[in-house]
Chains A and B, each alone.
Chain A
Amino acid sequence: MAETESLLETPLAGLHRELGGRMVGFAGYAMPVQYAAGIMAEHLACRSSAALFDVSHMGQAELRGEGAAAALERVTPAEVAALRPGRQRYALLMNRFGGIVDDFMVANLGDRLFLVLNASRKAVDLEAIGAALPAGVALVPRPDRALLALQGPGAESILAGLAEGVAAMPFMGVLETSVAGIPALVTRSGYTGEDGFEIGIPAEGAETVARALLAAGAAPAGLGARDSLRLEAGLPLYGQDIDETTSPVEAALTFSIGKRRRLAWDFPGAERVREELDSGPKRLRVGIVPDGRQPARAHTPIAQGGITVGEVTSGGFGPSLGVPVAMGYVARAAAEDGTALELMVRGRAIPARVAPTPFVPHRYKRTPILQGVAP
């Protein structure tokens, strides 16, 4: 079919078809939206045991050279310079108007930084980061690498059977090891709210690793389950919940702005971020729970007493909750938890309320020592 002909494939394209993957176009790639089990079963498998996602469409790149961390700080408000070797952090790439160009992960591998970028934004990101680099710092895209996400409460025991050292990793830890005999860059992170790992490997080793993880009990899961899992976990999706017009304050992502950066205000868009932190943003990203069973999808208008106060940016059914959930932007006055709203679905007002996120509690592998420290 013509529309799929121009799509790129990941190194696991053959395996997806073998597993009955229903392929769709996403960010220029042919990706499985689901396998034979279906989105609901794949979602629940991730929450109850372990699911394996191919996320090789995402961008991977290395930042090498003296001063790489300082260079990256020119385009992100994250604390990169103090990121210790063997640690990873969530960061925002910003434009000078205080909008979000992308959200990404940055890991410190000791001799270099390693970035994971959204598939739909990787070309934009590489250009923006590249333009900010001084002589001596090089940005090296790694399209030769595949990326797998193994997520769920059973992820640790599955991966520990195939790789040394992974069970001891803390949330957001980074380890260069080997998985099923293939050299791998493993991080303890993900996009589901569950404990789990992202496993970076050379493209030619991807199928070996994926088959080993499936044989050890992981259920294959597609982009459909990835979306419903991240929605329940309250995690934003770039291009839907955040974009170049939304600020980190509006998007409720200020946790990703380093403390030192808030003193120096030395990142793109700092003026807007500072103003919004001081005076409050006009709108805020919030969780929303509709009454009843009817889902409210992206772009559903949000009203209060018949007056529009915002818009849903992601919405659907939460398979773990058995009810619909959504997130979206509302005027600050309507952003308090419990605030009654109306979602205008096909001309009818569905009662809803603002709710705290995550809708399903995160179950990350936090290190016990941090849990004992007073805030």
Chain B
Amino acid sequence: MSQTRFAESHEWVRLDDGLAVVGISTHAQDALGDVVFVDLPEPGREVEAGEAVAVVESVKAASDIYAPVAGTIAAVNAALVDDPALVNRDPMGEGWFFTITPRDAADADKLMDADAYAKHAEAGN
């Protein structure tokens, strides 16, 4: 499993056996508050990096989730349908959103590492 990378829009991505696993950061789930619904993409959908592909709804608002890398949606986390609060409880693990078969596995390397992301989040972004 590769190092976890982060997008400026607060998604994380981790390469696992060639698949890019995508979720939202601990900072993002904290800022959103209690997650009550997750709208997941259809597997097989072609997505570009930065494209809005999912929606996470908290008690107070709906927020877009962007694909951190280009590719094809491979699978979605069905557990979030019945238990969206998984995103709050384990954002970096069991609360993953979807996987992407990346067009170019090297794309993830262009994203921030954990230290750079921590600074980005701390700066109020």
Which residues on the A side are within 8 Å of B113 (C-beta)? none
Cβ contact within 8 Å between A38 and B36: no
Decide yes or no: A39 and B84 within 8 Å by CB, A294-B37, A295-B36, A317-B36 being known contacts.
no
Q: For residues 25 through 64 of chain B, which have their beta carbon under 8 Å from a beta carbon of chain A?
A: 33-34, 36-37, 39, 55, 57-62
Cβ contact within 8 Å between B55 and A227: no
Cβ contact within 8 Å between A319 and B59: yes
Q: Is A310 an interface position by the 8 A CB rule?
A: no
Q: How far apart are A106's CB and chain B's nearest CB, in angstroms? A: 31
State A228–B33 Cα separation when bound (angstroms): 14
State A293–B56 Cα separation when bound (angstroms): 12
Decide yes or no: A38 and B34 within 8 Å by CB, A33-B60, A295-B57, A346-B55 being known contacts.
yes
Cβ contact within 8 Å between B39 and A39: no
Decide yes or no: A294 and B39 within 8 Å by CB, A39-B33, A40-B34 being known contacts.
yes
Decide yes or no: A38 and B37 within 8 Å by CB, A33-B60, A294-B57, A295-B57 being known contacts.
no
The residue in chain B whose Cβ has the minimal distance to the Cβ of A348 is B39
Cβ contact within 8 Å between A224 and B39: no
Which residues on the A side are within 8 Å of B58 (C-beta)? 39
Which residues on the A side are within 8 Å of B84 (C-beta)? 293
The residue in chain A whose Cβ has the minimal distance to the Cβ of B88 is A38
Which residues on the A side are within 8 Å of B124 (C-beta)? 1
Decide yes or no: A227 and B60 within 8 Å by CB, A294-B39, A346-B55 being known contacts.
yes
Cβ contact within 8 Å between A34 and B33: yes
Which residues on the A side are within 8 Å of B33 (C-beta)? 34, 38-40, 224
Q: Is A297 an interface position by the 8 A CB rule?
A: yes
Which residues on the A side are within 8 Å of B60 (C-beta)? 33, 39, 224, 227-228, 316
State A33–B32 Cα separation when bound (angstroms): 12
Which residues on the A side are within 8 Å of B37 (C-beta)? 293-295, 317, 324
State A1–B34 Cα separation when bound (angstroms): 26
Which residues on the A side are within 8 Å of B61 (C-beta)? 297
State A346–B34 Cα separation when bound (angstroms): 21
State A294–B55 Cα separation when bound (angstroms): 10
Which residues on the B side are within 8 Å of A40 (C-beta)? 33-34, 59
Q: For residues 38 through 66 of chain A, which have their beta carbon under 8 Å from a beta carbon of chain B?
A: 38-40, 43
The residue in chain B whose Cβ has the minimal distance to the Cβ of A223 is B60
Cβ contact within 8 Å between B57 and A224: no
Which residues on the B side are within 8 Å of A34 (C-beta)? 33
Which residues on the B side are within 8 Å of A294 (C-beta)? 37, 39, 57
Q: How far apart are B87's CB and chain A's nearest CB, in angstroms? A: 13
Q: Which of A1, A293, A317, A346 contacts B59 (CB 8 A)?
A: A317
Cβ contact within 8 Å between A297 and B62: yes
State A44–B91 Cα separation when bound (angstroms): 23
Which residues on the A side are within 8 Å of B59 (C-beta)? 39-40, 43, 224, 228, 316-317, 319
Smallest CB-CB A-B distances: 8 pairs: A40-B34, A317-B36, A39-B59, A224-B60, A293-B37, A317-B59, A294-B37, A295-B57
Measured CB to CB, the residues of B under 8 A from A are: 33-34, 36-37, 39, 55, 57-62, 81, 84, 124
9 new A-B pairs (CB below 8 Å) besides A39-B33, A317-B59?
A38-B34, A224-B59, A293-B36, A293-B81, A294-B37, A297-B61, A319-B59, A324-B36, A346-B55
